[in-house]
Amino acid sequence: MNVLMVCSELAPWAKTGGLADAVTGLGNALVARGHDVRVLLPRYAHLPGAGVRLRRLRAGRHRFSEIETGDRAAPRIYLLELDELTAESIYTADARDAGRFIRLAAAALELPTALKWRPDILHCHDWHAALTPVLNRAAGSARVARTVLTLHNVGYQGVFAADVLEQYAPPQLRTAIAPDALAGGDVNFLRAGVHAADIVTTVSPTYAAEIRTPQFGMGLEDVLSTRGATLVGILNGVDYDVWDPRTDPFLTAHFDATNLAPKRQLKSALAARLGLQADATTPVVGIVTRLAPQKGIDLVTAALPGLLRETRATFAVLGSGDVALASVLTSIAREQPTRVAFTDGYDEALAHLIFAAGDLTLVPSRYEPCGLTQMYALRYGTIPVVRATGGLADTIEHFDPASGAGNGSVFRDADVGGLSWGLRTALGWFDDRAVWSRLVANAMAADFSWRNQVPHYERLYASLL
């Protein structure tokens, strides 16, 4: 099949979070299955980067460049020139973003002509690409392809004062947008896209059910629940070439399920680097996260005093985002420097080390569309303690020491009691070496690779053709 992905992020070219990893992972896995996949994203000021060549193209009112990667195992990548809307950052967080992503939607329908290539599927990701299905549907019999809109997080919808449409949009767009996506003087890109796409997907089955309810739908639950069987949850995969304890270039020692001694060396190295006091019998709990309300890190800061008093756990936290949360974490770490280390920032290398070296990883999200960090942790034999929501619920099964089944600790309530129960339960397992070995073996045996997920997308695409 010919698939054109339309999106704002693509790893490693433009990444602020899990979206970039997901589009790259899915794209590569589809190419590996023989599909002709191409990706369109805006040309941000930092692209394409030193030493990379561009080939220019023109179609209609838009100008594109293809990145000459020479990589036949990956999709071909096209960048839309943004001209006066170019900015250094991936998001400007003002009306210019509306302009950029309106332009992206319109350009996606013109790119195939420039390429003399016909996509079967336009696969659009998140609110940034959500107007592509709107324009495609409005084209009627001249439509370019069937459309799939994937929701990576309905907490981000692209809401702007509606006058951005006069400023940036082709005239047919306003009339093509569903009236309820234009309510209250605003335009809601994601709502418009959910109405217009042939199929809507999201990144886990549980999240697909949750977002039909007021608690998780963020105001879109009405339109999402009308989609019935055309709203589908497909779990994201992991790129095991990047996240592999046997070869990870960010690590100074490598291990697998049959030889865990190097993992213990890494634990000593992590403790030494962060100033934590931890020997082999000290449980080290890692957290790698955006500091955003969604992630429940305020529950961690509220639970920490009790956990530090009543357990032997030691915490290695890496996060960036909310300034107030960062300052609470900084002061807890200052009070108990041998038990809590907080690194404020985005650090890919330290993230790999924390997943590899820790005993546990804590993911207490209030909601989590899919979540990648719990799957990375499993690969490194690090046991996830997660809240039962979204993709966390779909990937982590609460361990049962009696039967030996399960791969982590799962708690239900997003509060201090729930989180503390989840962590204490796992710490109990940690203290029994036979039980813990079984749990680690289960974790490392799990396979969440993209290869397993791609057939779901193939069936979905085929159902539209």
Binding residues (CB under 6 A) for ligand ADP: these are 17-18, 21, 288-290, 318-320, 346-348, 351, 370-373
Please identify, using beta-carbon distances, which residue of 376 and 429 lies nearer to ligand ADP: 376
Q: Which residues contact 230 (CB under 8 A, 6 or more apart)?
A: 198, 199, 200
Contact call for residues 42 and 62 (beta carbons, < 8 A): no
Judged by CB, which is closer to ligand ADP: 293, or 428? Answer: 293
Structure-derived torsion over alpha carbons of residues 177, 179, 184, 190, reported in degrees to the nearest 10 = -40
- Establish whether the linkage from the previous residue to 48 is cis, with ω within 30° of 0: yes
Cβ 208 to ligand ADP shortest distance, Å: 16
Closest separation in Å from C-beta 338 to ligand ADP: 22
From residue 247, how far is each of 73, 268, 353, 445, 459 by CA, in Å? 20, 19, 13, 17, 33
Task: Pick the closer one to ligand ADP by CB: 307 or 318.
Answer: 318
Could you count the other beta carbons within 10 Å of the beta carbon of residue 424? 17
**Alpha-carbon span 179 to 182, nearest angstrom:** 5
Nearer to ligand ADP, 68 or 348 (CB): 348
Query: Before 369, cis peptide (omega within 30)?
Result: no
CB of 8 to ligand ADP, least distance (A): 13
Cis status, amide bond into 12, omega within 30 of 0? yes
**Strand segments (E) across 1-130:** 2-6, 36-42, 53-59, 62-68, 76-80, 121-125
Cα separation, 211 vs 206, in Å, equals 9
Nearer to ligand ADP, 342 or 457 (CB): 342
**CB-nearer residue toward ligand ADP: 111 or 383:** 383
Whichever of 144 and 362 has its CB closer to ligand ADP, that residue is: 362
Nearest approach in angstroms of CB 21 to ligand ADP is 6
Contact 192, 160 (CB under 8 A): no
- Residue 203 beta carbon to ligand ADP: minimum distance, rounded to whole angstroms: 8
Min separation Cβ 441 and ligand ADP, Å: 24
| Angle at alpha carbon of residue 375, lines to 369 and 378, rounded to 5° | 150
Write down the least CB distance from residue 319 to ligand ADP, Å: 5
Rounded Cα–Cα distance for residues 34 and 46 (Å): 31
Select the residue whose beta carbon is closest to ligand ADP and give its number: 18
**Quick one: 80 or 410, whose CB is closer to ligand ADP?**
410
Rg, Å, the chain Cα set:
23
Nearest distance from residue 363's CB to ligand ADP, in Å?
8
Smallest gap from residue 373 Cβ to ligand ADP (A): 5
First-to-final CA distance of the chain: 10
Kindly report the backbone phi and psi dihedral angles of residue 461, in degrees, each rounded to the nearest multiple of 5, phi listed first: -60, -45
SS3 (DSSP) at 356? helix
Closer residue to ligand ADP in complex, CB, 187/351: 351
